[in-house]
Amino acid sequence: MPTDHFRHSFHVAAPAGEIYAHLIEPRNYIGLSPLLVAVRDVRPGRDEITYLGVERFRFGPFTWDNRLRVTLTPVTPDRQLRSSVISPGAVRLVATVDLVPDGDGTLVTESVELRTPAVLRRFALGQATAVQQSRAAELTRRMER
């Protein structure tokens, strides 16, 4: 199965701890990830949080709700967290967010590993990179003071 790796770094004018607190809450991803319209069945565990996310794709007048199984893992408090996503169609995504204090804010770096069947590669890669850029812009907007 083809695997793609990509990353994006951006500066947010907020402390790493505030950004981390926002990102560790699954319901905050609604709208943060532009395709995500619902978060259900949130189950906090000792070392991870699992939930069902619903992405909504629009194709002209038609919509498709894509159900995702997400595991959100706090790796290093206030510094790093990881999301592992299992999507229908054998699409797998792992996103690691690193938060590094930087001057008056935080340098946020999201590194993504995307595994897809060859037939879905182009579509999934295009969606994942667009979502990453949108998420960066929305997180920056939300964290402005």
Q: Where are the domains of the chain?
A: 3-143
Q: Output the CA–CA distances (angstroms, integers) from residue 39 to 43, 56, 67, in the order listed.
A: 11, 12, 10
Q: What is the largest CA-CA distance in the chain?
A: 46
Q: What is the per-residue pLDDT across 130-139, written as a single tens digit (0 to 9) for each?
A: 999 999 999 9
d(C-alpha 4, C-alpha 134), whole Å: 19
Q: What is the per-residue pLDDT across 78-128, written as a single tens digit (0 to 9) for each?
A: 999 999 999 998 999 999 999 999 999 999 999 999 999 999 999 999 999
**Does the pLDDT value for residue 11 go beyond 90?**
yes
For the domain bounded by 3-143, which CATH number is listed? 3.30.530.20
Question: What's the pLDDT score for residue 110?
Answer: 98
Provide the pLDDT confidence category of residue 24 given band limits of 50, 70 and 90.
very high
Q: What is the per-residue pLDDT across 48-77, written as a single tens digit (0 to 9) for each?
A: 999 999 999 888 899 989 999 999 999 999
